[in-house]
Amino acid sequence: MRPPGPRLLAVVVAAAVAVVISRPTPGVAAPCDPAEAAVRVELIRTELARESRRAHRWNTAWGITFAVLAAAQVGMAAERWTPLGDVDDDAMRTALWIGAMKSGLGAAARVVMPLRVDRLDGLSGDACTDVIVAERALRRGGRREQGSFFLLHAGSLAVNIAGMLWLGLVEDSWTQGVLSATIGLPVGLASVYTQPRDAWHAARDGDLLRPRWMVRTVRRPDFTGLVLDGAF
């Protein structure tokens, strides 16, 4: 076999040098544009402030909702009465107690482990430094929203299945068990899917300028109800 010629060796060496030069130097960050960084910081600040307010409202609204549902079911179970008539069936009364416990757990969860999204405070004033802090805060808020979203899914499924099994196996009333789960699961999912999730999506997608869609309450002299609202 003939040894490689000088021309071939020169091509191989030049290619190797080009690869080495093109590789990024470890530990060297991309150059920062202060103007772009300042815009990004302000976008994240606005996003986190809005998500913090929405998380507080969500915790409060659903905490009150679950507490009211729990109190109502305790009262109906104690009085053996519902708006549909008297409760003569022991399994139905047990279903009311189980519903009260499920609602009580939902209310307690909003107090013991509420969803919190921290605002962006205590910045240095250096945009290139602050944008790193802001990105970390956005990812932290996103992780909290993501964790809460999946934890609430699992919790709602677990308590409703447990209630159904208790009514079916212990009270020997699968009808009441299925009815309890059929009522409880949609309420739990309504809580889950009204939870703020924009910080999670923004941290994942890196896009703070996309359209926002939300369900909000509107109260006016001529109208009271829920409105699907798009914020741009």
Q: Which tokens is 214 given?
A: 């939300």
DSSP-based three-state secondary structure for 46:
helix
* Band of pLDDT at residue 84, cut at 50, 70 and 90: confident
Q: What is the mean pLDDT of residues 72-96?
A: 92
* Three-state DSSP class for residue 26: coil
Whether 67 is covered by a domain: the verdict is yes
| Residue 106 CA to its chain's centroid (Å) | 15
Residues 6+ apart with CB under 8 A from 184: 99, 102, 156, 159, 160, 163
Task: Give mean pLDDT, residues 5-16.
Answer: 53
Residue 16 lies in a domain: no
**Contact between residue 188 and residue 160 where contact means Cβ atoms under 8 Å apart:** yes
* pLDDT single digits (tens) 187-215: 999 999 999 999 999 998 877 655 455 55
β-bridge partners, 215: 228
pLDDT band with cut points at 50, 70 and 90 for residue 28? very low
User: Are 89 and 96 spatial neighbours (Cβ–Cβ below 8 Å)?
Assistant: no
- pLDDT-derived band of residue 74, with 50, 70 and 90 as boundaries? very high
What pLDDT, on the 0 to 100 scale, is given for residue 3? Answer: 52
Q: What residues does 107 pair with on adjacent strands?
A: none
Based on the structure, what is the number of domains in the chain? 1
Mind giving me the DSSP string for 75-89? Answer: HHHHHTEETTEE---
Residue 47 · residue 138 · CB < 8 Å: yes
- pTM for this entry: 0.76
Question: Percent of the chain having pLDDT more than 70?
Answer: 76
Question: Could you tell me if 128 and 37 are in contact, meaning their C-beta atoms sit under 8 angstroms apart?
Answer: yes
Inform me whether the pLDDT recorded for 97 exceeds 80.
yes
What percent of the chain is predicted at pLDDT more than 90? Answer: 68
Let me know if residue 18 belongs to a domain: no
Flag whether 20 is in a domain.
no
What DSSP designation does 125 have? Answer: S
Token pair listed for 75 = 């009262």
In a domain, 21, yes or no: no
For the segment 133-145, what is each residue's pLDDT rounded down to a tens digit? 999 999 999 999 9
pLDDT score for 122: 86
Question: 6 lies in a domain?
Answer: no
Q: Is residue 104 included in any domain, yes or no?
A: yes
Kindly report the average pLDDT of the chain as a whole number.
85
Residue 46: which domain range?
30-231
**Does any domain span residue 81?**
yes
How far apart (Å, rounded) are the C-alpha atoms in residues 218 and 79?
35
Specify the pLDDT at position 209. 54
| Whole-angstrom distance, CA of residue 193 vs CA of residue 84 | 29
Q: What is the pLDDT of residue 205?
A: 85
Which residues, in sequence order, are CB contacts of 152 under 8 Å at separation 6+?
109, 188, 191, 192, 195
Rounded average pLDDT over 22-40 = 70
What's the whole-number mean pLDDT along residues 172-198?
95
Question: What confidence category does residue 85 fall into, taking pLDDT thresholds of 50, 70 and 90?
Answer: confident
Grade residue 31 by pLDDT with cuts at 50, 70 and 90: confident
